[in-house]
Amino acid sequence: MTKAQKTQIIKRKFLMHYGDAKTELQYSNLYELLVAVMLSAQCTDKRVNLITPALFEAFPSIHLLAQANLSDVKALIKSCSFFNNKATHLIAMAQKVVQEFQGIIPSTQQELKSLPGVGQKTANVVLIEYFGANFMAVDTHVFRVSHRLGLTQAKTAQKTEEELVKLFQDNLHALHQGFVLFGRYICKAVTPNCKDCFVSDLCKTKKNFKPQ
């Protein structure tokens, strides 16, 4: 079996199982999604979902977040990893949106990446989830799954993203969501649930890959 053939089988199976998958982050608009994704960096979605209700109650709009006191934001997100930096980035992000984008969160990758605290992965996740954009975002789950399946040997998340985009080409938003959920609940880092795996025949290794 060629790599191209294997890729198409993996693609078809993931779209069959996760074609309608969505993020587990809880949000009601683009502002809340962006904030939640920023908080989710190196933090679980479950933890973020515990934090955001009080945060959004205190700052229900981008304009109010832009005017927030740093210590108030820190207090609301203190159970989140790297909360000091994230609080600073959240306020700076909101201020830039208000000052340079008339209070409207941008909807392109480059404009999102221009915001403080928003890298390519965060921008892509927002675009994938909210707009169904044809992007791939590589978190620890996507990195591990793609390496275990032998789709890439790239050492970094960025290079892995590039290779997956080249391999899959389309339906990237669904494949990203599928890889995340598959990695979170089946192809887990330490104890993968191989008995429930629908691509076990294509698995190369159970090694716990992590980006450098």
Active-site position among 139, 201, 206, 210: 139
Closest by alpha carbon to 147, among 185, 155, 3, 18?
A: 155
**Which residues are within 8 A (CB) of 13 and not within 5 positions of it... i.e. 6 or more apart?**
198, 199
Q: Is 204 a catalytic residue?
A: no
In whole angstroms, give the CA distance from residue 132 to residue 117. 22
Structure tokens at 194: 């191989």
**Dist CA 129 CA 172 (whole Å):** 11
- Give Cβ neighbours of residue 108 (< 8 Å, ≥ 6 apart): none
Q: Is 46 exposed, middle or buried (0-12, 13-18, 19+ CB in 10 A)?
A: exposed
- d(Cα 129, Cα 177) in Å, to the nearest integer? 8
* Residue 121: active-site member: yes
Candidate list 11, 74, 96, 121, residue with the active-site label: 121
Active site residues: 121, 139
